[in-house]
Amino acid sequence: MSHRSSFAAVAAACFILIGTAAPSRADTSNSTRTDAASVSATDAKRADEGARLRAFFDAEWERNLREHPESASFEGDRRFNDRWTDLSFEAIERRQAADRDALAALQRFDREQLDAADRLNYDTFLWLQKKAVERQRFREYLQPISHQGGVQTADGMIESLRFETARDYRDWLARMAALPRSVDQILALMREGVRRGNVPPRVLMRRVPAQIAAQIVDDPTRSPFYRPFADFPDSVPQAEREALAAEARRVIADKVVPAYRTLQTYFEKEYLPHCRDSIAVSALPDGRAYYDFLAADYTTTGLGADEIHAIGLREVARIRAEMEKIRTEVGFEGDLDAFFAHLRTDPKFFHKTPNELLQAYRAVAKRIDPELVKVFRTIPRQPYGVRSIPDNIAPDTTTAYYQQGASDGSRAGYYYVNLYKPETRPIWEMIPLSLHEAVPGHHFQFARGLELPDAPMFRRTAYFVAYGEGWGLYAERLGYDMGLYDDPYDRMGQLAYDMWRAVRLVVDTGMHAKGWSRDRAIAYFKANAPKTDQDIVNEIDRYIGTPGQALAYKIGQLKISELRERAATRLGPAFDLRDFNDAVLETGSVPLETLERHIDAWIERSASATATGETGPKTAP
């Protein structure tokens, strides 16, 4: 049911009164009039509370855009393209106080007076806001740089911006000119982190000096920040281009490069020596409580580290048995370890050049597209493309990732693939990877979210990791339903990716809650999955740097798969996978408990419809 405005609710109530046949004298009574008036008043109150709630959500969305200009840019909102987020201690405290105030304001709404759609919005925002306030105690802002990103890779913002007018270029000039202030604020945060002992592992931060060095250039035109000025669109007047480019060279030489030199000096001489030797987040002040918080936040469950570790061990054993079947099927002589080594090293499994690899990824995406109708009724309208991960971050980042399209439709979604060292990017992983990151994985999920009817913007753009990554991992298995895994090595790739996420449950909890070393985690990963050494090391370092995040993938996938099995069992021959998949996506990104309630209700509606002979998909009321 979509949210109705106050006017619409009152009009509906009036229709009840006017559209009813005129009562006879005998039917006219005070109770009839009282009942009708009561319905009218109830509907009006519900509509008014819903309208106030929507206004609150709109105000909070606007606050988020204003306080986080990068987020606004990412959403396609150009109003704040000339600035960075204020990272001063005063601004951070102001934002945290505003978050606490927003939580208190939300809890003053009368949830019982909301319709079903607005209750879902209320519950989702409440979950998010409680977590935002709870995480304040851990002072995450004191680690503003990671080996996977930070101010040292700020030029990556270019990927999200539109350079169509001279104003767009002037905004980027202003943003570049403001970089020294951001660097100064980040240095202040890092110094406070050192003082409090809230610092990242040294083994990860050793990667950062090379990232900073990539920003320090003698020729401004070689700066990553200069990329937009190397090729102007026709919409920028010829007369303005040289002046804009000249100003860019000046700003880069006078402001950007000196700021990065300052960062480089502090980072290498003071910060890196103070980074911790330990890899476990539990080594931080209040670290074990922080890990417990992260596990609950990312998985949207109450599962503890021991439970998650045990789930991982069971899944690893199950998937190994499936891998043994593939090894036998292809006739490989040798044990599973030898089979893994074969998959990692045989040249037939690799493309020779980055361009060949990029074209192969694009071909896989085109192969998937026409098969989507087998497993979905609803195909999102927003398109997607396939791009390479920027060279300056490719060595230190994952195999691929997805960047959702702008909420205003001005930018398509993009599937970014890592072309660094193509000899480490096996062909057998390309189908499950593309199913996860592009379609029907993250692209479907984000694009469908933007198409939620009448939903507030925070719901249309929300991202719960367990839902989002659980869906991505579930989407990898949809390749079987789509007829894509017709080669045993591609099936091995799917199992390798499933194993990858099962291993995460073991090594993430192992390192952060059970005292595992980095070397032990790498060895466990390598013993149970055929991913290449390059990927394995990057992955383990990712789990060290973002503790708990990797737990959400397998936990989310297991829940969605459980719900699918529940629906198939309950509905029997009436079960239609297309309807189920659409039902999972029609909520947008929500906590797993919310998704479970939604699917259980969908199952009962579908069962009732089957019993009464109704046909067609059973979407939410």
Token pair listed for 426: 């096996």
Q: Of the candidates 606, 507, 595, which has an alpha carbon nearest to the alpha carbon of residue 557?
A: 595
Angle CA(190)–CA(192)–CA(193) in degrees, nearest 5?
A: 60
Beta-strand relationship, 384-388 and 413-417? parallel
Tens digits of residue pLDDT in 606-615: 999 988 877 5
pLDDT of residue 206 exceeding 90, the answer is yes
pLDDT of residue 621 exceeding 80, the answer is no
Nearest-Å Rg of the Cα atoms of the chain is 27
Max CA distance (Å), the chain: 95
pLDDT of residue 17 exceeding 90, the answer is no
Task: Kindly report the length of the chain.
Answer: 621
- How far, in Å, CA of 326 to CA of 445, rounded? 31
Tens digits of residue pLDDT in 251-267: 999 999 999 999 999 99
**Distance from chain centroid for Cα 279:** 24
Mean pLDDT value across the chain:
91
* Confidence label for 3 from pLDDT (cuts 50, 70 and 90): very low
Tens digits of residue pLDDT in 304-359: 999 999 999 999 999 999 999 999 999 999 999 999 999 999 999 999 999 999 99
Tens digits of residue pLDDT in 356-377: 999 999 999 999 999 999 999 9
Instruction: Output the DSSP codes for 426-471.
Output: BGGGHHHHHHHHTTTTHHHHHHHHHT-TT--HHHHT---HHHHHHH
Token pair listed for 61: 């969305």
The whole-number pLDDT of residue 7 equals 21
Tens digits of residue pLDDT in 473-491: 999 999 999 999 999 999 9
Q: Which of 76-85, 160-169, 410-419, 606-615 has the lowest mean pLDDT?
A: 606-615
Cα distances (angstroms) measured from residue 299 to each of 468, 479, 547? 10, 24, 12
Q: Of the candidates 418, 621, 446, 607, which has an alpha carbon nearest to the alpha carbon of residue 531?
A: 418
The whole-number pLDDT of residue 355 equals 97
Token pair listed for 583: 């039902």
Tens digits of residue pLDDT in 132-149: 999 999 999 999 999 999
* Confidence label for 620 from pLDDT (cuts 50, 70 and 90): low
The whole-number pLDDT of residue 499 equals 97
Cα distances (angstroms) measured from residue 563 to each of 259, 454, 528, 567, 617? 52, 26, 28, 6, 17
Tens digits of residue pLDDT in 512-566: 999 999 999 999 999 999 988 988 999 999 999 999 999 999 999 999 999 999 9
pLDDT of residue 509 exceeding 50, the answer is yes
Angle CA(190)–CA(196)–CA(201) in degrees, nearest 5?
A: 65
Question: 301 phi and psi, to 5 degrees?
Answer: -135, 175
Question: How confident is the model over 567-581, as a mean pLDDT?
Answer: 98
- How far, in Å, CA of 34 to CA of 30, rounded? 6
pLDDT of residue 18 exceeding 70, the answer is no
Q: Is 585 exposed, middle or buried (0-12, 13-18, 19+ CB in 10 A)?
A: buried
- How far, in Å, CA of 44 to CA of 7, rounded? 8
pLDDT of residue 11 exceeding 60, the answer is no
Q: Which amino acid is at 451?
A: E
Angle at which helices 518-528 and 488-513 cross, to 10°: 160
Cα distances (angstroms) measured from residue 133 to each of 95, 127, 461? 10, 10, 20
Residue pair 458/60 in contact (Cβ under 8 Å)? The answer is yes
Instruction: Output the DSSP codes for 352-393.
Output: SSHHHHHHHHHHHHHHHGGGGGGT-S---SS-EEEEEPPTTT
The whole-number pLDDT of residue 23 equals 31
For tokens 């980055």, name the residue: 354
Ranges of each domain in the chain = 6-67+88-140, 144-277, 291-556
Q: Indicate the DSSP class of residue 348.
A: G
